[in-house]
Structure 1
Amino acid sequence: MLQCFCKLLFVTILLQIFDGFIHGLIYAQIFLELSLEITSSTNTVAQSFTFGWVLKNILVLSLCIKGCEEFYIAIVEAERCCVMNLGSNRHPDLKKLYKNVIRTNRSKFTKMSACGVITIDATLPLRLSDQLAIYIVVLLQFAFH
């Protein structure tokens, strides 16, 4: 049940990433076409809504990434606590537990990825904005060619 939920969650995050990326390109194209026309109050309102939707997509994605980063920090903190307690604790069962936690964390833990396509970490917004900027430059080249 938990594995099914995790796969569904990662598919949802992947779709949110692609949705934000594709809509960012579409909004950039709309913004470009509206900018090339004669400026009016309607264009300004449309451009404001376009910018607002891009910000909304960035915010939703940032909230997902923030949750994943907090999870990564908790995992690192748990391993650090186990390492600290391993040397100070004399009880053999607790030492075994700490060693198992450390060993499992080092061998099994990997950063989450959206269906193996994109790693979900703090660098994801930078990578997405980099790719978005590249494609927007291409759109600008076609618009002003």
Structure 2
Amino acid sequence: MAAVKATSLSDLKSTLSGFRVIGIDEGQFFPDIVEFAEYMADTGKVVVIAALDGTYQRQGFPSILTLVPLSESVIKLSAVCMVCYAEAAYTKRRGQEKEVEVIGGADKYMAVCRTCYSQDDDVPSKEC
């Protein structure tokens, strides 16, 4: 099956009834992710969710944090810091927007390590 674009996961329940495994990308953006994932898991589906656990302000996405104790397994991945190439656990926003959700890719966001997160420029710190 090809990827399905959705803004609400609950609208897809009947469409997905014939599948055993359900994959969800960008889970942090679905307001009904917790209820949907629990429902699907309770009906015997394997639910795999890829999501950010925190915002560019290092605040948790509540729905994703709610899923952690409900999950059989959680794997936290890291990226590579786009400044110093160390292991990166954070997202830094490029630009001046203050909203939590700003749609964009590498033009708006970059993966950074703890040290580079607190730097005002994109120059590697001596501490990295």
Q: TM-score, normalised by structure 1?
A: 0.22
Q: Max radius of gyration: which structure?
A: 1
Report which of the two has the higher share of strand. 2
Which structure is higher in RCO with an 8 Å CA cutoff and minimum separation 6? 1
Q: Indicate the structure with greater helix content.
A: 1
